Chains A and B, each alone.
Chain A
């Protein structure tokens, strides 16, 4: 029970930090290509504790993002839910993979997220550059090993 509480406290704290990083003001050229840090953190926790950090987490985090980033309700909830669902399906395979394969798996998991966000953008009449979306996916994959090690260090230190 104590460990369960610890998992939720550490996950929620790291997600909150991810949320803040997500809305930190950045240079203009970075705005449309920055990787979705919050989603990456959520993916890590879903991989680590799939029984506890699941779709409910994705839904609530997405809802908070919708309200904070002033987009129509359902935008991030939809994208996050689908991504975490994919993570929950493939987590046994992904866990066993090497770091390089994990990066490639992340590419597969994140592709529907970006596809969905571009489809919703088009439906809402929002302009976007497809090249920015590609760069964003690539950056997410590049920063994944670093983020993974940091979060694993946090997990090993605070949840044991």
Chain B
């Protein structure tokens, strides 16, 4: 009896296998740009958010415990350091209005348009879940309710992080600049030349593309956003050129860029309008 059952089942299993594989392959081809899965996620965000919250809970609890366990002396020292940092930075900020007005005066003299300034910044927290190691995406805890929209720039305290690629009710998904499918137009701060930067899948490494062999680039050059792509506002730090590989037979230089922001280990990010 059991054998019969087994044999009868094997036909169903084969039919199921073919059906499921056909569905999987066709959806893989159709959903290369995550359009269908975005639709599913946005319609079932009320189910997904709690799962993310459960997965994030242990690390949150550990964080809270470590705050309670921290010694008083440590906290006082941390506070002193932060106060010092704020004091130094407020000193630097004092100069900005003067520099801004000087900049716009000079731009008027040159008859060029004034750079776009960001009007609003929203602080969002990362939802710490372990997504696919290959996806280079992070989840933040703000969504449609905070009026976020797809394509918004996300930065952290050290530099550019990426852009929002999907907005759901309570959370959004940020594609990091290290994603292999992501590219942006940067400017070399030293020479003013435009450079295209794309992700490699590795969060500690980006690559600069299409730089001709005789282009003036040196290791240590700082790259900032150009504002020409109409997505990222001008002037935000992207990273520094860490390695230049020149081969005479190649058409272009092979240039590695180290991102200035720590793309994986940050806790809070800023969303720009």
List 18 contacting pairs A-B, 8 Å CB cutoff, sorted by A: A20-B51, A24-B129, A25-B56, A32-B133, A34-B130, A51-B9, A55-B16, A67-B48, A68-B51, A69-B135, A70-B132, A71-B134, A71-B135, A78-B21, A126-B135, A126-B180, A127-B201, A128-B201
* Residue B40 is within 8 A (CB to CB) of chain A in the complex: yes
Count of A-B contacts judged by CB separation below 8 Å = 126
B202 & A127 in contact (Cβ 8 Å cutoff): yes
Chain A contact residue count (CB 8 A cutoff): 43
* Residue B7 is within 8 A (CB to CB) of chain A in the complex: no
- Name the distance in Å between A27's Cβ and chain B's nearest Cβ: 10
B37 & A66 in contact (Cβ 8 Å cutoff): yes
B20 & A22 in contact (Cβ 8 Å cutoff): no
* Residue A9 is within 8 A (CB to CB) of chain B in the complex: no
Kindly state the separation between the CA atoms of A20 and B57 in the bound complex, as whole angstroms. Answer: 10
* Residue A54 is within 8 A (CB to CB) of chain B in the complex: yes
B48 & A68 in contact (Cβ 8 Å cutoff): yes
Which residues of A line the B interface, CB within 8 A? 19-20, 22-26, 28, 31-32, 34, 50-51, 54-56, 58-59, 62, 66-75, 77-78, 81-82, 85, 88, 120-121, 124-128, 132
**Given A25-B59, A70-B173, A73-B31: A127 touches B134 (CB 8 Å cut-off):** yes
Kindly state the separation between the CA atoms of A58 and B21 in the bound complex, as whole angstroms. Answer: 11
Kindly state the separation between the CA atoms of A54 and B134 in the bound complex, as whole angstroms. Answer: 28
A25 & B54 in contact (Cβ 8 Å cutoff): no
Kindly state the separation between the CA atoms of A24 and B131 in the bound complex, as whole angstroms. Answer: 9
A74 & B26 in contact (Cβ 8 Å cutoff): yes
A23 & B55 in contact (Cβ 8 Å cutoff): yes
A55 & B20 in contact (Cβ 8 Å cutoff): yes
Chain B contact residue count (CB 8 A cutoff): 49
Kindly state the separation between the CA atoms of A132 and B24 in the bound complex, as whole angstroms. Answer: 25
Checking A28, A68, A77 against B264 with a beta-carbon cut-off of 8 angstroms, the contacting residue is: A28
- Name the distance in Å between B36's Cβ and chain A's nearest Cβ: 5
Which residues of the other chain, A, contact B9 by a CB distance below 8 angstroms? 50-51
Checking B16, B31, B44, B56 against A74 with a beta-carbon cut-off of 8 angstroms, the contacting residue is: B31
| Extra pairs beyond A32-B133, A72-B34 (17, CB < 8 Å) | A20-B51, A20-B55, A23-B55, A24-B129, A25-B59, A26-B130, A34-B130, A58-B20, A59-B23, A70-B34, A72-B32, A73-B36, A74-B25, A85-B13, A124-B32, A125-B181, A127-B202
**Given A120-B28, A125-B181: A25 touches B37 (CB 8 Å cut-off):** no
* Residue B137 is within 8 A (CB to CB) of chain A in the complex: yes
